[in-house]
Each structure stands twice: as C-alpha cells, then as structure tokens.
Structure 1
Amino acid sequence: MVLYQPSNKHVMEAFSLKGKVAVITGGSRGIGLEISNALAEAGANVAIIYHSSKDAEGIASQIEAAHSITAAAYKANVSDQKDIEAAIQQITRDFGKVDILIANSGIATAISAEDYKPEEWQEIMKVNLDGAFYSAQAAARLFKTQGFGNVIFTASVSASLVNIPQKQAAYNASKAGVVQLARCLSVEWVDFCRVNCISPGFVATEILDHHPPELREKWLSMVPANRMAATYELKGVGNLEVVE
C-alpha cells in the first residue's frame, strides 16, 4: 500500500479514532498522559507503555472508565530492543492489532558538555533516540504485515535550537536525531505506514522539576506569552497526525 489515502468522510467522522488501537510509550505522565487521554477521547483503545511509573495500571483504569474505551498498561524498557518488541507483541495479542504507535518516552539532564561521563551521555541516547527507534521498529514490523499503521515521534524544539541557559547537549542532540530519524523512516516505510514527528516547546511537565526556579523564570522571560504550554494544548496536534 503506497501511503494510505483516507476516504472523503464527514469532517467529524474523519477525526474519529473509534476502533483504533494506540500504543503510547511514556504514556502515564506528562505529555504522554495527555496523548493517552486525547486518543481515548477520540475513541481509540489505549495501551500505555511505562517503565518507572508506580500507578500506570490505575491511570489506565481511569482512562478506560472516563472514555468508555479499553485501556491497559504494560511495563517495558524502551531502550531494550527485545523488551519493547515483546511488549508490542503482547499488546497485539491482547487488542488484536495496533494502528498507532506514539514514541514519546524521554528523559533530560542538565550537565556541562565537558563534564559528561560516558554513561550519562549514553543513558540519554538509549532512551531518547535508541528507545524511539526500537519502539517504532517493533511497531513497523507489525504494520508491514498488516499493511497499515501510524508512527508518531515526540521530539522537541531543542532539536532545532539551543535552549538557554541550561546545558543539555545530550538531550538536544538526541532529539535532533529523532527528527532526522522520522524523516528517514517516513520515506523508507511509506508503503505500509505513515511517520510523523512533533517538536513541542516548553511544556509544564514533571521533566522540568529538576530545574531550579530561576531557570524557569529565565525561560518565561524569553517566551512572548510569558507562560509555558499546558499539556492539554498538544492534544489537537497529536490527533491531527493520526486521523485517517
């Protein structure tokens, strides 16, 4: 199938994801949680992949009850190719298929470039870049057999500019890699799935908690609106990438 072409539907029907199955890595908190809720609101059944969350199963139950869809949580390490592959396969068995994969898991640190230890650099790359690829790869193997599917990467504005004053060369480089990865895969996998990528700016999530208040004030001073985005403001962007 060369790049899926949707039928000419009524506009509201075109935005419905009823009956679809969506997998969201890092889907139990921050941007990932809002994506999980947004896809459920649009009618999709949701499979949340988490690694360290203590209440992912409870969150999945809440999403299921709130939106009258099926939701479940699966523990997996996205930086372990075999682990994420097994999780995608289990989700496929449980739900019958997978239509959408959101590669959203990510971590950040603020370390001066000259001070990075090899393991600190590698940890960022393993989760943000390797993990994004392994997640997409596992889904793509399924999509190639199905003949259809959607992959969406959560990158960052840091992929194309240097946010200051924090020092986060590893994070910025990893997200730039995600953007280029998405470009490559969108061409390579065009016959059986669509690949998109979003690059949010500053969004108020837990990932910012390790930064001191003075940094937040600095960031706000550089934003014309003088505020960070709320996670729910990304819901429309994410859904636009998967509607068929």
Structure 2
Amino acid sequence: MVLAPHPNPTAPVLSHFDLTGKTALVTGGSRGIGLEVARGLSEAGAKVAITYSSTPSAEAAQIASSISFANGGRPFKAYKCNVRSRVDVDSVFASVIEELGDGKLDIVVANAGIAEHIPAQEYPEDKFREMFDVNVNGAFWTAQAAARVFERQWKEGGEDTPHRGSLIFTASVSATLVNVPQKQAAYNASKAALVHLSKSLAVEWVDFMRVNCVSPGFIETDMLLVHPEEWRKQWFDMIPGRRLCKAAELKGSYVYLASDASSYMTGADLIIDGGYTLP
C-alpha cells in the first residue's frame, strides 16, 4: 500500500491549494457548514455539486446559480438526495460524474447530518435509529460510493497515478468530549463513530484515496442559534476563544484537506474549536 505522493511538492505553495479542474461533491451543502465548504471549494477552482434534502428545490437551485455566478460561471449544481438511502446516494454520484465531472470525481465531503437534544433515558427508538441512519449510515454510504469511484479511477489511470481522491467527513468536537448542558448522547456517539470510521477507512483505502475528518466546535449556524440563550452564555464561558465560529471560517480547512497541500495527511481529525477541547 502506497499513499499517493504530491505531484509537484517544490511548486510555489499557493499552487498546492489550487483545485482547478477538480470535481467535488458535498452532501448537505445547501446550508450551514456544508454551504460554506462548497463555496470554498468553488472559490479554489473546483466544479462543485451539493446535495440537499429539506431545502426547497428552487432555493437550492438559486444557491447553486449564485455561487456559480460569483465564480465566473464555474459549474455548480444542486441535487436532491436522501443520504439514508444507498440507492439515492449511488444515483447522485452517477449523475454528478456524468453531468459535472466529465466522467471523474476528485473530492467528496460527507457533511449531511442532524442533531437533537433528548435525555438518554427518554430517547425514543425511532429517533435514536434516525440519528445513526443519517449521521453514520448516510456518511458510510457516501464513503462507499466515493471509494468505488476513486478505486476505479486509480486502476484506470495506472497504479502510479499521483492524483487520487480525497474524502472528508464533517464530525464534531462532540466526538471528543461531552457537551453540556445539552443532553445529546446519541449525537455525540454518532460523531465519535465518524471519527473512528475515517481512521479505519484511511488505512483500508490508502492506495486510492485519503480520508480525513474536520471536527468543528460551536459554529454560528441556524442549527446552533435555536438553542436557549443561557446555553450559549455557558458555552462562551467554556470556550477560550470567547466567541462562536463563523461557518465561512471553516472553508479553508476543507480546501486544505481536499487539495495537494495535505498530500501526506490521512486519518487525521482536525479539531477547530477556539480552544474548547483544551482546558
């Protein structure tokens, strides 16, 4: 097993981050972190596809159109997808490769996820299963689809081809610690599963792809801002950085993991949390 080398490590450093000619797919890319990640990948030169589930189709199409326009007409498309369905995921991958990637795919971000706060003793069976069905199973179906594509491309290009796929999971600091005061054992466990899944796949699939995680802390998204004010005040007291993170502050980290700049990084979990996990 050989990790693909950087194609030109002595080139000027900014060129290492260039995604021109690459095709990327971001699940859950119509809002929050996923939207800013997709925007960043497009800004770095990639053709980008996003998936959405609950966002109205017209809104998703408008998001895609506006980001494409902002980046000189660079291709950017939105696809409706239920990541809990392996059939749905496989179908979207096939469409993206045919319609956007000219037969290729280079970057996949498994970002789609949900969060709920329910005391563990009271957790309904259907809700617990749904949490894992989206956050873990959905991410795994996405990873499987990516692996099949990346392995095929590696074999077709010859085993010495240096350009191989990058898969990035969106996990959470909740994989590392137990957030308080919210009660979210199921969410925490689902994100911890993602981190170890990424490490396992990084080893198993090292020949044809890199696999890494990003674990954000408290990010200023709609998902977070619905929580009670007293919770947010407690979080601020626990974060050395003393503020929430803007979702757009994360996009550079995903571009790094998607690009040749991180060519020797696989199996890593980038914790981006303003120091929250340190004390």
Which residue number in structure 2 is paired with residue 231 of structure 1? Answer: 247
Counterpart Cα distance in 1 of 2:119 and 2:35:
30
TM-score (norm 2): 0.85
Deviations 1:105-160 (A, max 9, x none): 11100000000011010111011111111111111111110012110000000001
Q: CA deviation at 1:210?
A: 3.4
Which residue number in structure 2 is paired with residue 182 of structure 1? Answer: 198
**Pairing of 1:98-177 with structure 2 (within 5 A):** 98-147=105-154, 148-177=164-193
Counterpart Cα distance in 1 of 2:240 and 2:193:
28
Counterpart Cα distance in 2 of 1:50 and 1:140:
21
Q: CA deviation at 1:240?
A: 1.1
Secondary structure in structure 2 of the residue aligned to 1:199: strand
Which residue number in structure 2 is paired with residue 13 of structure 1? Answer: 15
Which residue number in structure 1 is paired with residue 4 of structure 2? Answer: 4
Counterpart Cα distance in 2 of 1:33 and 1:144:
27
Secondary structure in structure 2 of the residue aligned to 1:48: strand
Q: CA deviation at 1:224?
A: 2.0
Q: CA deviation at 1:88?
A: 0.5
**Pairing of 1:38-77 with structure 2 (within 5 A):** 38-54=40-56, 55-68=59-72, 69-77=74-82
TM-score (norm 1): 0.97
Deviations 1:170-197 (A, max 9, x none): 0000000000000000000001111111
Q: Which amino acid aligns with 1:58?
A: Q
Q: Which amino acid aligns with 2:61?
A: E
Structure 1 residue runs without a partner (length 5+) = none
Which residue number in structure 2 is paired with residue 241 of structure 1? Answer: 257
Q: CA deviation at 1:92?
A: 0.7
Which residue number in structure 1 is paired with residue 276 of structure 2? Answer: none
Q: Which amino acid aligns with 1:155?
A: A
Secondary structure in structure 2 of the residue aligned to 1:59: helix
Counterpart Cα distance in 2 of 1:210 and 1:115:
21
Q: CA deviation at 1:20?
A: 0.5
Match of 1:93 among 89, 94, 98: 98
Counterpart Cα distance in 1 of 2:26 and 2:138:
13
Which range moves more in the overlay, 213-222 or 98-107? Answer: 213-222
Percentage of pairs with the same residue: 50
Deviations 1:197-220 (A, max 9, x none): 110111011111432222111111
Counterpart Cα distance in 1 of 2:203 and 2:241:
36
The number of residue pairs the alignment matches comes to: 244
Q: CA deviation at 1:2?
A: 2.6
Counterpart Cα distance in 2 of 1:181 and 1:130:
11
Secondary structure in structure 1 of the residue aligned to 2:201: helix
Matched, 1:25 2:57: no
Counterpart Cα distance in 2 of 1:210 and 1:136:
30
Matched, 1:78 2:83: yes
Counterpart Cα distance in 1 of 2:84 and 2:71:
31
Counterpart Cα distance in 2 of 1:219 and 1:34:
23
Q: Which amino acid aligns with 2:24?
A: A
